[in-house]
């Protein structure tokens, strides 16, 4: 085989592995089974419902982490904090003027 070329067998195996999902086994309690039944009632297959639930959960974790990082950055921004206090004081003075 010429150098720099992949054997057809290795090429097909690597492409096959890239697209084949892994099977897992999960034990569900009654609450999780009810939730799964709700998802299946929407027309999703059991596998698709579980896949979506995992991906949605991971996305929510990522969003929470991003939000926490944004909050930390805002709390560390002294200029932003000073402006926030100024705005709060103006709003308070408008409320007291009523």
The residues, any chain, with a CB within 8 Å of residue 14's CB and separated by 6 or more, are 6
User: Within 10 Å of residue 14's Cβ, how many Cβ atoms?
Assistant: 10
Q: What is the reported pLDDT for 19?
A: 66
Q: What is the reported pLDDT for 71?
A: 93
The reply to whether the predicted model has a pTM over 0.85 is no
The residues, any chain, with a CB within 8 Å of residue 92's CB and separated by 6 or more, are none
- Tokens coding 22: 């892994």
Please, how many CA atoms are within 13 Å of residue 83, restricted to the half-sphere of its CB? 6
For the chain, which residues score pLDDT lower than 70? 1-20, 98
């Amino acid at each position: 085989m010429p150098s720099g070329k992949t054997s057809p067998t290795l090429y097909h195996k690597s492409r096959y592995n890239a697209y084949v999902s892994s099977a897992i086994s999960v034990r569900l309690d009654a609450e999780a089974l009810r939730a799964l039944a709700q998802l299946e009632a929407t027309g999703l297959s059991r596998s698709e419902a579980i896949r979506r639930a995992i991906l949605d959960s991971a996305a929510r974790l990522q969003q929470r982490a991003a939000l926490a990082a944004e909050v930390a950055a805002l709390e560390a921004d002294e200029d932003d904090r000073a402006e926030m206090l100024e705005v709060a004081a103006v709003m308070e003075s408008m409320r007291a003027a009523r």
